[in-house]
Amino acid sequence: MARKVVIVGTGLGGLSTALRLTTLGFEVEMIEKYHQPGGRLNKLQHNGYTWDMAPTFFSMSYEFKELIDFCGIERPFDFFELDPLYKVNFSNSKKFFTIHKDIHKLAREFEGIEDDFAEKMYQYLEKTGKLFHDVENRIVHRNFNSLLSYALGLASVPWGHAPLMVKSMWDELNRRFTSYEVKVIFSLVAFFLGATPFDTPAVYSILTYTELKHDGYHNVRGGMYKIVDGIVDILSKRGVKFHYNTEIVDFKYTNRKLTGVIDQNGNIWGADIFVVNADAAWFRGAILKRKAYSENKLDRMKWTLAPFTVYLGVKGKIDGLSVHNYFLGTNFKEYSSKIFKNQVSLEKPYYYVNVPSKANPEFAPDGNESLFILCPVPDLRYKPDWTDSNELAQNIIVDLSERVNYDIAGNVETQIIYNPAHWQKMFNLYKGSGLGLAHDLNQIAYMRPHNTDEMFKNLFYVGSSTIPGTGLPMAVISSKLTVEQIVKRYDDRKN
């Protein structure tokens, strides 16, 4: 008889794990706190408008290909590469920098701003590309089951990369480029890790290589939620049952075996194997009551920035905006080094705007636009009070109106705001941190909460706060690493 697996959470990590496990013949049942699947990869609909709720593009598309090939399925969604990638505006200028993948075209954007841009960028990409290929299989795609194996893995990375481990991403950019604009724009990738370039190790400059050179960024036709729709459809056909509005709050065990997880209504969900897709650090503390993950300990760990998100339905078409846009100020160093701890005013914040209706016209009524605004902000440890949410949203809308020369404020038909407290409540994101645990060198690979449990032999973890880390492709890799652990432990030929 097939072994039964209960997966707690239907984020991309949980869904990809379910796809792999059903392919291998396991029976899977999924339990989800939210009212629909997807976790952070979700969608919002209101008043005729649709928005991707959080992720708006993804990199490393070949990780989805690996998943699809492993599961022997047709690709359940259609995606296309972005080129140009995005536009950037600084508050002291009307200019929008268009970030092309073609380096010569890109160089034209920085004419008169950065001398020898193309040559410097080629050198930067050569260095970061080499590093990317040196760490991808040695570190990112691996389960490390002991500190020794991690140390050996690290030692196998060519020593020439060592300086990038100790300096910050900003220091490395500062060494290679002279202009404020170039340094700021190519350090934005640090925010994709939920951090700033000042506290992100330079090794993550590999993200510039993935964005400009390696595989680029991709959008999903019909919106990002098509990924979830497509996977859930396949899983349902495979007999997977989904239970929504069901939150796991407790557990049962005998000896070193978890025997059931218990929901808010006292129902016990039993299985042979359990996979937790809820945040791997938070779950160990809040549900399993592990001392190493008490609130005190979690508070001392480093978490990624929290999201402050605004979803707008706006009358009329806004020509000044592209699908992906960044709006930045002129005090980047001060702003981003102080934002974490709420030491800088949020009156003039830095933010990202996505206009999904430009790529998917059905996302807004004819002639109108749907806008998603994302502003990285301090988490609830540093800013517990969000009663100023409306004011903050209004500041952004007024600033955006001026910068794109369109009266957005006067044309808003629909507005939804999610502050970090909402994000915490919706998906149990620790203190509202948007991307889970940060990726400092002491919080990655073997040092990150493991995908196998310390006590229960039949409990595993998948998703952002376990290995390898955050973002959609990482959730897919995480499912691969977790399933490898399950297969290793439940390989019937060995038992």
Ligand X SMILES: Cc1cc2nc3c(=O)[nH]c(=O)nc-3n(C[C@H](O)[C@H](O)[C@H](O)COP(=O)(O)OP(=O)(O)OC[C@H]3O[C@@H](n4cnc5c(N)ncnc54)[C@H](O)[C@@H]3O)c2cc1C
Q: What is the per-residue binding string for ligand X in 343-382, x denoting contact by CB under 6 A?
A: -------------------------------x--------
Total Cβ atoms within 10 A of residue 24? 14
Is position 443 an interface residue for ligand X (rule: CB under 6 A)?
A: no
Nearer to ligand X, 142 or 324 (CB): 324
Is position 197 an interface residue for ligand X (rule: CB under 6 A)?
A: no
How far apart are the C-alpha atoms of 446 and 468, rounded to whole Å?
9
Nearer to ligand X, 7 or 344 (CB): 7
- Strands (E) across 359-424 are located at 369-377, 412-418
**Rounded least distance, CB 374 to ligand X, Å:** 5
**Rounded least distance, CB 51 to ligand X, Å:** 11
How far apart are the C-alpha atoms of 82 and 105, rounded to whole Å?
15
Nearer to ligand X, 131 or 374 (CB): 374
Is position 190 an interface residue for ligand X (rule: CB under 6 A)?
A: no
Those residues whose C-beta lies under 8 Å from the C-beta of residue 126, and which sit 6 or more positions away, are none
How far apart are the C-alpha atoms of 463 and 474, rounded to whole Å?
8
Q: Pick out residues in 55-84 that bind ligand X (CB under 6 A).
A: 55-58
Nearer to ligand X, 95 or 252 (CB): 252
Contact region with ligand X (CB under 6 A), list: 21-29, 37-45, 311-319, 449-457: 37-45
Nearer to ligand X, 34 or 124 (CB): 34
For residue 151, give both structure tokens.
Answer: 């140390």
Contact region with ligand X (CB under 6 A), list: 39-47, 355-363, 378-386, 405-413: 39-47
Q: Pick out residues in 237-276 that bind ligand X (CB under 6 A).
A: 247-248
Which pairing describes strands 369-377 and 351-354: parallel, antiparallel, or unpaired? antiparallel
**Rounded least distance, CB 40 to ligand X, Å:** 3
How far apart are the C-alpha atoms of 173 and 208, rounded to whole Å?
11
Binds ligand X (CB under 6 A): choice among 89, 196, 325, 428:
428
Q: Using alpha carbons only, what angle is made at residue 34 by residues 33 and 35, rounded to the nearest 5 degrees? A: 125
Among the residues of 273-411, which ranges form H helices? 280-286, 295-300, 332-338, 356-359, 389-404
How far apart are the C-alpha atoms of 289 and 368, rounded to whole Å?
49
Is position 228 an interface residue for ligand X (rule: CB under 6 A)?
A: no
Nearer to ligand X, 313 or 471 (CB): 471
Nearer to ligand X, 34 or 144 (CB): 34
Is position 393 an interface residue for ligand X (rule: CB under 6 A)?
A: no
Can you give 172-216 as a three-state secondary structure string?
HHHHHCCCHHHHHHCCCHHHHCCCCCCCCEHHHHHHHHHHHHHCC
Interacting residue ranges for ligand X, rule: CB under 6 A = 8-14, 31-34, 39-41, 54-58, 247-248, 277-278, 307, 309, 374, 427-428, 434-435, 463-464, 470-472, 475
